[in-house]
Amino acid sequence: MTEYWFARRFPVGDRRKSMAPVHWKGFAASAVYVAVLSIGGLAFAWMGAGGYLVQGTIVFVVAALVGAGWFITVARAKGDPNRTVADYGEAKPHV
């Protein structure tokens, strides 16, 4: 049985395909993504204050693209395509 870290926010058939964390590893992946963006933002602010605004922008954009790409890949790979977050809250058996 596959261990899912994320689940659908909306039922199957809904055109919205967003996912939300349902396992501690999903919450940890979300925290890593926020940390990567924060580090990129701090680097941007620090480099911009030092007169290197273009380089700071590049560092932030690279951090945002790498972080988002990694997060989306993990969410798709470890996401439950059939059950919703509400199903995990109710602890329904996997069908």
Q: Is residue 17 part of a domain?
A: no
Residue 93 has pLDDT above 60, yes or no: no
Residue 88 lies in a domain: yes
Which residues constitute the domain of residue 84?
A: 39-95
Percent of the residues in the chain that have a pLDDT greater than 90, as a whole number:
69
What predicted TM-score, i.e. pTM, was given to this entire model?
0.82
Residue 75 covered by a domain: yes
Averaged confidence pLDDT in the chain: 90
The answer as to whether 7 is a domain residue is: no
How far is residue 75 from each of residues 11, 58, 81, 87, measured CA to CA in Å? 17, 25, 11, 18
Measure the CA–CA gap between 18 and 38, rounded to whole angstroms: 23
What is the per-residue pLDDT for 89?
Answer: 80
In whole angstroms, give the CA distance from residue 20 to residue 86: 10
**In a domain? residue 73:** yes
Which tens digits make up the pLDDT trace of 43-67? 999 999 999 999 999 999 999 999 9
CA distance 75 to 20: 8
Looking at the structure of the chain, the number of domains it has is 1
Which pair of tokens denotes residue 48? 């911009």
How many CB atoms sit inside 10 A of residue 79's CB? Answer: 20
pLDDT in tens, 72-86: 999 999 999 888 888
> Does 28 fall in a domain?
no
